[in-house]
Structures are given as C-alpha cells and as structure tokens.
Amino acid sequence: MNEQDLAELRKKIINCRACPRLISYIEEVGKKKVKRFKDWNYWAKPLPGFGDPEARLLIVGLAPAAHGGNRTGRMFTGDESGNWLAKALYQTGFANKPQSVHREDGFELRDAYITAVVRCAPPQNKPTREEIENCNEYLVREFKLLKSVRVVLCLGSIALKGTIKALNKIYPESNLKGIKFGHGLVYKPEGLPYTLITSYHPSKQNTQTGRLRWEKWVEVFREAKRNLKAL
C-alpha cells in the first residue's frame, strides 16, 4: 500500500499546475533548451521524489535544476550537484553506483529517498514564498508515507525552512524554533521521530568556491549513517 500511495502522490505532483510562473518557466526551458542538450527531450514537468519506499534517510533539496532534473525527469540527475550527491551516496552505501545521468540509467537508492521543497525549477533558483507553500503539502504527504524515515538531511537553508514548515503541520506540539541552518549541524528535536542534519547544498557556488569541500560533504552522509546505526 505504501508504494501504491507513493505512486499516486508522484502522479499528482507531475500533474500539478498550482504555480503558473513555474510551469511557464520549465516549459519554456524545455522548448528553448541549451546547445549542449539540444538533442534532449526535456521532462519539463513538476518532479516527484524518488528512492527506496522503506528509506530511513530522507534527503530534502531546494528544487530541480533547469537543465538537470527538469531535463532528465529525476531529482539531482544530470548536473554537477547531482554528481556530487550520487558519488557521496555511493561512497557511503546509499546508492548502487556513483553517477546519476538520466532517469533510466539504473541508478538506485538504498535506504534513502530524495525530494525537494519545490518541485519545479524556479527562475534563478529563487522560488517565491507562495510557491514554496504550494509545494509544502507534497512534502507533508511524503513524510506521512515514508514511515521508516529516521534521519532527515536538509540541503540548504530553504530546504530546512520548508522541512520545518512541513513538520510543524504534522507535529504542531513540537518546538522547532531553535533549529538554525549551518553545515553539518545535527538536531534531535523532542517530540519528533527524526534526527535533522543540515548541510550546504552541493551547488556550483558552494563547491567551486571551496565553501563546500568534498571531505566535509561526505562527512554529512557518514553522520547520517552513524545515526541510523545507533537506532
């Protein structure tokens, strides 16, 4: 039933048209493309999460990339951020291979599930508050369906804010006000069945400037693994 419910949620997300600005943008990107991907048939629709339905690790990003997930049809697939994520997941045992290129490349997650707070690529990677709120119901639903999740990894401050917003709806009596964003921070909020870990997003502006270095990036996933082993 869990997999069936997830499948229904994915279908609902793909068919979502709640944010006209985002739908217009991803469809335009899909038509105009870029030279290096001119032969691709872009996905150009909202993106659902993907991974192991029994996952204990939930990874929450910001949104699909215009020429990454919006092109390939799978979160964190087909761009440098996706490459960083796939390699780290493989090195720490959460994936079966170190690269994620397109949605039918055989890349599989093990004990992990990837989602985002916004399901369409936003212009300049800047969704509005209303767009984040429109998508938040999907994140709430994923938390409810992914019953095995025990560690939540938030990639970036917007991902953390969206996650807290969703958790406040599910656990209104929990106090999440003390949770701040920073790289490698670990929180075990009272009244929640989750450990929250925060990390810089593996965007080019973080990886190419040295703000996020490889060893610190992989350590985040080792920390997630240690927390899962301690359960």
**Which residue range forms the structural domain that includes residue 154?**
2-229
pLDDT digits (tens, 9 = 90+) for 153-173: 999 999 999 999 999 999 999
Banded model confidence at residue 1, pLDDT cuts 50, 70, 90: low
Q: Which of 35-44, 137-146, 170-179 has the lowest mean pLDDT?
A: 170-179
The type of residue at 166 is A
User: According to the model, what pLDDT value does residue 175 have?
Assistant: 85
CATH code where residue 61 lies: 3.40.470.10
pTM: 0.97
pLDDT digits (tens, 9 = 90+) for 63-115: 999 999 999 999 999 999 999 999 999 999 999 999 999 999 999 999 999 99
How far from chain centre, in Å, is Cα 17?
Answer: 20
Give the DSSP letter string of 130-156.
HHHHHHHHHHHHHHHH-TT--EEEEES
Q: Which DSSP letter does residue 63 get?
A: -
Give the chain's domain count: 1
Q: Sorting pLDDT into bands at 50, 70 and 90, what band is 118?
A: very high
